[in-house]
Amino acid sequence: MQTKNNLMVKVNHPLKNHNTFGLDSTAGGYLRLSSEGQLESLPELIASYDDFLILGGGSNVLLPDFYDGLVVHVDIQRLSHRMSGKDVLVNVGGGVNWHQLVSWAVENGFGGIENLALIPGRSGAAPIQNIGAYGVEFKDVFICLRAFNLETGKFEVYDREECQLAYRDSIFKNELKGKVIITDMWLRLSGRDHQFNLSYGGLKSHLEKKKIGHPEIEDIFQSVIEIRMSKLPDPAELGNAGSFFKNPVLPSRKAEALLNEYPEMPHYVLDDQNIKIPAGWLIEQCGFKGKYSGKVGCYEKQALVLINRGGAGAVDLVTHAGSVQKKVEDKFGILLEPEVNIIHPHLYDQVLKM
């Protein structure tokens, strides 16, 4: 352990417990960021390293076997709320576990994020990814966030428009990638007169099977958990980062041409010009569902999820993902884009298209 700029940095720190793939990755330097008071000295500390990585729950990253730089693990815990008419304004720290936040909201009767139950990771990653599930996205409840700019050394506030939230995308994955640390955010939930989103067919049918005609927050919350557990593996048992690829959004003309060839292909009309195709279906049609190459493969219940059965390295996972990309592109003419953040992706250019 070393002390730099009054910050405690651990040397050659294992990251296996900090990534849901369960990779035996090691950080050259590791800092746990638990308070905003540490941020003042952080820019100078980062400048002493050739590279640095901001890490939350590690639920959407693929780490290299050795990260030769400083890993800043954001663990700022904060959770408070206040009423504003029928709404509830919630302030949550970037290090708060997302599912625990959803559970807290449900327990208190606050609506708006019950569809987002059991999504792994920390709250600070929610705006970065604009996480979404079962008809609801993070942007639907988001007001603004506060972030520390590592270049200016100052705190900045970003509202919904400034965050440029889109499908699994935001300004924090583009212009501001690696430049800011999200410390906390404000969400607007409902305290009464809840408006539930049951647009996702699987959720609606699940409630119908349980003979719940007028669901409450708890009903939706529990149903989402049951659906996710029936389809997705527990990272504690099988290393994974959820959906490895994004669902491709195609121009209507291209999608319609594919539908003429594959009329059974599931699809979702987004607007007059765009249609979304489930990446899991495309991967399954290429024969990857439940297929393993040594220690890695595609989950037998959901082909979109890449699995580490234990002992796999980053290159093993990326090589398998590259094979998936190639076959899907060859068969359907669609290049799947990774949803998982691959650290040092240039190392894998030969096996995975970025």
Q: What is the set of active-site residues? A: 168, 243, 339
User: Residue 4: phi, psi to the nearest 5?
Assistant: -130, 130
Can you tell me the distance from the alpha carbon of 18 to that of 23, in angstroms, rounded to the nearest whole number?
A: 9
| Residues shown for the chain | 354
Question: Largest alpha-carbon pair distance within the chain?
Answer: 64
The neighbour count for residue 202, using CB atoms within 10 Å, is 13
Q: How many CA atoms lie within 13 A of 258 on its CB side?
A: 22
Alpha-carbon separation of residue 193 from 90, 190, 216, 243 (angstroms):
17, 7, 11, 33
Residue 124: closest CA among 92, 156, 154, 169: 92
Beta strand pairing call for 341-342 and 61-62: parallel
Amino acid at 334: I
Going by the DSSP 8-state scheme, the letter that residue 49 receives in this structure is: S
List, in sequence order, every residue forming a beta bridge with 72; answer none if it has no partner.
31, 54
Kind and range of the H or E run holding 30 = strand 26-33
Alpha-carbon separation of residue 250 from 68, 259, 333 (angstroms):
38, 12, 11
Contact yes or no for 182/149 (Cβ under 8 A): no
Contact yes or no for 89/187 (Cβ under 8 A): yes
